[in-house]
Structure 1
Amino acid sequence: MTLLVKEKMFYIHFFKLTLIIALQNVITIGVNLSDNIILGGYSETALSAAALANQIQFIALFLIIGCSQSVVILASRLWGSKQLHLIRKVIGVGMAASIVIGLITSITVILFSTELLSLLTADKSVIQEGAHYLKISSFSYVFFAITTILLASLRSMEIVKIGLLVSLFTLIINVSLNYLFVYGHFGLPRMGVFGSAIATLIARILECIIVIVYIVKNNHRLGLKMRHFFELDTTILKQYTKIALPILLSSLSWAGAMAVQSGILGHMGTSAIAANSVATTIFQFVTVIIYASASSTAIIMGKTIGEGSIEKVKAYSRTLQILYLFIGILTAIVLFVTKDHVLFLYQISDEAKALSLSFMTILSITAIGTAYEMPALSGIIQSGGDTKFVMYNDFIFMWLLILPASLLAAFVFNLSPVTLFILLKSDQILKCFVAFVKVNRYKWIKTMQVQR
């Protein structure tokens, strides 16, 4: 049995998809980074408020992204088997689910923003500022839902450049509007966190319009019309739900866990909140290639399974695992080297800076584990059709192991923020062992048929 695939086109295709998606992710993270930098220069309270508000809205965004992942899993298989008419039906179901989630979460956040933030911190000024941010930015969820499903549908057919261009446009608009609204340049009022939320909302609306125009004007490969995105086929809905429900529950579990983690750190002071925001934002920026590798894996594996090439799927999975480790080592080195050169961008306390450096050092180690387990689980296993395993795995590690241990460390043993951060991120290493065993047994390959 040959360990590595010898097809040159496999590597070209994988790295081409990965690099394009990574650039898109860099720009997307750049939107968050620009918010952090601009608000970090405004005040530490503003930075902490936006950081906690983002933890709340990550739940909505994770669920919407879960809907899009389900579209990619099904649609990429149909792309491989050339059943183009069914791709349109899958997209329609995914769009309906995503919009419903966007509406429900928007209403919930608008009505209970203060109560939700109170679960994460006791700092009244942070809660007040965060509530202002959430009540405006929550209107962007539906626009984000539409954009995400449209781009996922194109990505499943290996059309990825439009996502990069849209993200670049969003970054430019968001940074420009943040500059104007947060500090009140060119005669505009100085709005702080409130202005950052308005900038985000405007950017989301504009990017949605751009993608819709592109779909209507340029996509001739599938013959998509806007009405296809709002058609609800009940048979396809059942097949989509079978794939999507575990992904959505896993996304909800993960997003909720991230909010709880921020809440645990939030009760350790504003410096811990700010340091966590800085460290995780830089981490996301440096490790975009990891998440891109998972997305490109899902496209390649889904298409290959749709073509019926099961032996090729196994060979691809073996090769990909080695590529993941190389990617992990590279990103770990980059994060460790750059961590000392980014803090000048932030106007935060010396305590927050010291914590940020410690947090980024920890993340540079766990990045290697993330680079392997995340694409192995959400790229290989999920795209193979075994979405329940990923759901159970995430739930057990996070809610039965990591969070209970971290709560004890924070509120019973009163351990330091650095020790607590190590506990919170330890699952990124532990999951590697489970992922290795699961992937190399090949029981995750499900040759389901999308039928209508």
Structure 2
Amino acid sequence: MKLLVEEKSFYKAFFSLTLIIGLQNIITIGVNLSDNLILGGYSETALSAAALANQVQFIATFLIIGCSQSVIILASRLWGAKEIHSIRKVAGTGMAVSLLISCLMWFVAMFYSSGLISALTTDEVIIQEGAAFLRIISCSYVFFAISNILLATLRSMEIVKIGLMVSLCTLVINVTLNYLLVYGYLGLPELGQNGSAIATFISRIIESIIVITYMLKAKLTLRLQITDFLKLDMSILKPYVKIAFPILLSSLSWAGAMAVQTGILGHMGTAAIAANSVAATIFQFVTVITYASASASAVIMGKTVGEGSLEKVKAYSKTLQVLYILIGVGSAIVLFITKDYFLILYSISDEAKNLAVAFMTILSITVIGTSYQMPALSGIIQSGGDTTFVMYNDFIFMWLFILPLSLIAAFVFDFSPVIIFIILKSDQILKCFVAIVKVNRFKWIKTIEHQS
């Protein structure tokens, strides 16, 4: 089998999807970066409080995105098989599950906010401000769930431009409101980090209105109606849950692990929290193409499996792995070269800046591993139907290896934040060895039965 496929249609689909999704990701990260910069310019305490509250936010986000990924995996197969009517059932099922999860997360974040933040830091001021931020932003979860499921359904059918337009609108609205509400311009009250949370909440509402309007008014092949989301089709529920359950557990495990990681660094001082927040935000910005390639791969591979072209599935997976490595090397170079320039935009202490530079230097190495194993696992293996492997792989690496070692290093041996950060990110390289074996054995190609 050739290492690279020669079909122009494959490359056209991959790069067009990756480009548009990547632009959408850039805008989404731009929203997070603007929040980060505005709060970082306001005060280090505000930045740290929002950073810790966002760890709980990430759990909700990861779970909702997990529901969306499950929709893409199943719906893209149905798109390849030309079963449009079944895609409507998948969208309705995904929406029901996503709304249930978002409501549960809102309840926890709203009524247990202080306890959640206090698990991540002992600073009373940050706990108080972070809890207030979390209570406000939790109100956006339901709207975020609605938008994500609708956009995931469209993406499974290779309709991605609307997602880009929605993200652009969100960026403009969020940045404008952030600036006005955080600092209190144009006669508005100065709300600090709470102003940032309110801006996000309003942006999510407008975002969902735009997507719903598009779905109802646009002349799409799918022709979704509100009634499609008011009924739960049991013939689709079983295969959806079979796909979604491992993804949701994996998302919960990963988001929880990120919160524990932040908590470990959080107990090492405000400078470590701020540095980790800065490094994480910039890392997300640099790796937009990596995450876009995973999303594009999921659509392409799911569609190809749905078409029954198993030889193409194998050929495409070989080519994708090469593309992932090239993307990783490019991302590493960009992150290493630009890391110092980004810090000019932040008003944080010299200690936090020095830690942020060290963290980003480490990430400029591990990003190569991230760019290979993450899309290989979530873009190829999950879309092929083997969602349980990714769940077990993430759990074993993170909870049985990375986190125990990090806790021992931090609280028993009292290692520096830099050494702790190296340990926390080492799984990004180690997972590559597992991914390369798993992908190239092709035992992840599984059929998903459903009733039409």
TM over 0.5: yes
- Equivalence map 1:249-288=2 (5 Å): 249-288=249-288
- Equivalence map 1:10-409=2 (5 Å): 10-409=10-409
8 A contact 2:77–2:305 mirrored in 1: yes
Superposed displacement of residue 78, structure 1: 0.2
Query: 2 CA distance for matches of 1:220 and 1:159?
Result: 10
Deviations 1:84-113 (A, max 9, x none): 000000110000000000000001100000
Q: Secondary structure at the match of 1:30?
A: helix
Residue 435 (structure 1) aligns with = 435
Query: 2 CA distance for matches of 1:220 and 1:436?
Result: 39
- Equivalence map 1:410-449=2 (5 Å): 410-449=410-449
Superposed displacement of residue 230, structure 1: 2.8
* Moved segments of 4+, more than 6 Å: none
Deviations 1:130-153 (A, max 9, x none): 111111100000000000000000
Query: 1 CA distance for matches of 2:425 and 2:364?
Result: 11
Aligned-partner residue type, residue 137 of structure 2: S
Structure 2 residue 5 is the aligned partner of structure 1 residue 5: yes
Aligned-partner residue type, residue 394 of structure 1: D
Query: 2 CA distance for matches of 1:219 and 1:96?
Result: 24
8 A contact 2:91–2:229 mirrored in 1: yes
8 A contact 1:181–1:191 mirrored in 2: yes
Query: 2 CA distance for matches of 1:280 and 1:127?
Result: 21
Superposed displacement of residue 12, structure 1: 1.3
Query: 1 CA distance for matches of 2:220 and 2:190?
Result: 46
Aligned-partner residue type, residue 202 of structure 2: I
8 A contact 2:366–2:425 mirrored in 1: yes
Query: 2 CA distance for matches of 1:184 and 1:405?
Result: 44
Aligned-partner residue type, residue 286 of structure 2: V
Aligned-partner residue type, residue 168 of structure 2: L
Cα RMSD for the two superposed structures: 0.6
Superposed displacement of residue 155, structure 1: 0.2
Superposed displacement of residue 410, structure 1: 0.3
Q: Secondary structure at the match of 2:382?
A: helix
Query: 2 CA distance for matches of 1:193 and 1:124?
Result: 16
Query: 2 CA distance for matches of 1:245 and 1:71?
Result: 12
Query: 2 CA distance for matches of 1:432 and 1:426?
Result: 11
8 A contact 2:384–2:445 mirrored in 1: yes
Between the two proteins, the alignment pairs up a number of residues equal to 452
Superposed displacement of residue 280, structure 1: 0.5
Structure 1: gaps spanning 5 or more residues:
none
Deviations 1:219-275 (A, max 9, x none): 421121121123201121111000000000000000000000000000000000000
8 A contact 2:239–2:449 mirrored in 1: no
Superposed displacement of residue 287, structure 1: 0.4
Structure 2: gaps spanning 5 or more residues:
none
8 A contact 2:183–2:190 mirrored in 1: yes
Query: 2 CA distance for matches of 1:254 and 1:17?
Result: 26
Query: 2 CA distance for matches of 1:219 and 1:359?
Result: 48
Query: 2 CA distance for matches of 1:329 and 1:230?
Result: 46
8 A contact 1:93–1:230 mirrored in 2: no
Q: Secondary structure at the match of 1:312?
A: helix
8 A contact 2:18–2:289 mirrored in 1: yes
User: Structure 1 length as normaliser, TM-score?
Assistant: 0.99
Deviations 1:348-404 (A, max 9, x none): 000000000000000000000000000000000000000000000000000000000
Q: Secondary structure at the match of 1:4?
A: coil
Query: 2 CA distance for matches of 1:226 and 1:332?
Result: 44
Query: 1 CA distance for matches of 2:13 and 2:147?
Result: 25
Q: Secondary structure at the match of 1:191?
A: coil
Superposed displacement of residue 184, structure 1: 0.3
User: Structure 2 length as normaliser, TM-score?
Assistant: 0.99
Query: 1 CA distance for matches of 2:435 and 2:293?
Result: 16
Q: Which range moves more in the overlay, 223-232 or 67-76? A: 223-232
8 A contact 1:339–1:360 mirrored in 2: yes
Query: 2 CA distance for matches of 1:148 and 1:403?
Result: 30
Query: 2 CA distance for matches of 1:290 and 1:415?
Result: 31
Query: 2 CA distance for matches of 1:201 and 1:188?
Result: 17
Superposed displacement of residue 276, structure 1: 0.1
Aligned-partner residue type, residue 385 of structure 1: G
Deviations 1:111-134 (A, max 9, x none): 000000000000111111111111
